[in-house]
Amino acid sequence: MRRLGIHSFVWTGGGTQDELERAMDRSAECGYRLIELAYLRPDRFDLDRLAQRSRALDLDIAVTMGLSPDTDISSEDAGAVGRGEALLADAVRAVRDVGGSKLGGILYSAHGKYASQPTDRGRKNAVAAIARTADIAKAAGVDLVLEVVNRFETNLLNTTAQGLAFIAATGSDHVRLHLDTFHMNIEEANPAAAIRLAGDKIGYFHIGESNRGYLGDGTIDFDLIFDALLDIDYGRDITFESFSSAVVDEGLSKACAIWRDTWTESMPLARHARTFIEMKREEAARRRRTNARP
């Protein structure tokens, strides 16, 4: 692992500059070395000030987002595809300007429940738009990672195998997968096997519980997850993601169907997640050493 990160929605819906800066302070205070910001809007935030703060705190920034029906690059409507591609290019530039390392999330379709299957033409539109976005991201020094999410949040990339086929179709070496234990728990036949299948194509990894609350309060077998990450020598960032109705963002909270509070206080949750993840990583390393002993 490179850096352990935390999603800003553990702290705040992020409506104001001050809220984002306080979230950065608290993340660093809890020992996290990356913060994930959702929908970083250059028109609403002072990116220079956020960049300065992140440097002072030695806190890397990842930005994630999802497209809307109006900017859906997996659509057959050329207007929506064009608007989506322009939005992605703007997002890449915002990540660069804030000094961030990567752009992730549902960049290849709208974020929401579709009423029908993807079409061949729509998928081709998405592949082409992501390939062009990857060129822009590469030139900007920003990693581009596509989050594979469950069936209720996209119709295009629900499994790691689908994600691998999609990035192969782009022909780009600059597109990787952004995997998430919450989504894998719903869609993968075997989440650990999916991690081993993706190997070096994993560019970013979200740790979330099956109910999006406290790690350990759900049904995900994190021992198998951390064994698999160790097996592939995963060396990129891992971010803790958790949502509760205690922190509300109109867009993301609705898209993710956050209707109840799995927690109410941010600081104990953040401290617990860091301890949990570090313990699980140590246990996986110890299991490997024990197994290797003759």
Q: Among residues 143 and 180, whose Cβ is nearest to Mn ion?
A: 180
Q: Among residues 104 and 118, whose Cβ is nearest to Mn ion?
A: 104
Q: Is 209 in the site for Mn ion (CB under 5 A)?
A: no
Sheet strands (E) in 160-287: 175-180, 202-207, 238-240
Rounded to the nearest whole angstrom, what is the least distance from the CB of residue 50 to Mn ion in the complex?
Answer: 21
Give the contact letters, 68-107, x = binds to Mn ion (CB under 5 A), - = no: ----------------------------------------
Which tokens go with 51?
A: 């960049």
Rounded to the nearest whole angstrom, what is the least distance from the CB of residue 147 to Mn ion in the complex?
Answer: 6
Alpha-carbon gap, residue 165 to 278, rounded angstroms: 32
Give the contact letters, 220-259, x = binds to Mn ion (CB under 5 A), - = no: ---------------------x------------------
Q: Identify residues 169-208 at the interface with Mn ion (CB under 5 A).
A: 180, 206
- At position 255, the amino acid (one-letter code) is A
Q: Among residues 85 and 147, whose Cβ is nearest to Mn ion?
A: 147
> 183-218: buried (b, 16+ CB within 10 Å) or exposed (e) per residue?
bbbebbeebbebbebbeebbbbbbbbbeebbbbeeb
Q: Among residues 45 and 204, whose Cβ is nearest to Mn ion?
A: 204
Sheet strands (E) in 76-163: 102-110, 143-147
CB-CB contact of 264 with 247 (8 Å): no
Q: Which residues are catalytic?
A: 147, 241
Rounded to the nearest whole angstrom, what is the least distance from the CB of residue 129 to Mn ion in the complex?
Answer: 21
Sheet strands (E) in the chain: 4-7, 34-38, 60-67, 102-110, 143-147, 175-180, 202-207, 238-240
Applying CB under 5 A, the residues found at the interface with Mn ion are: 180, 206, 241
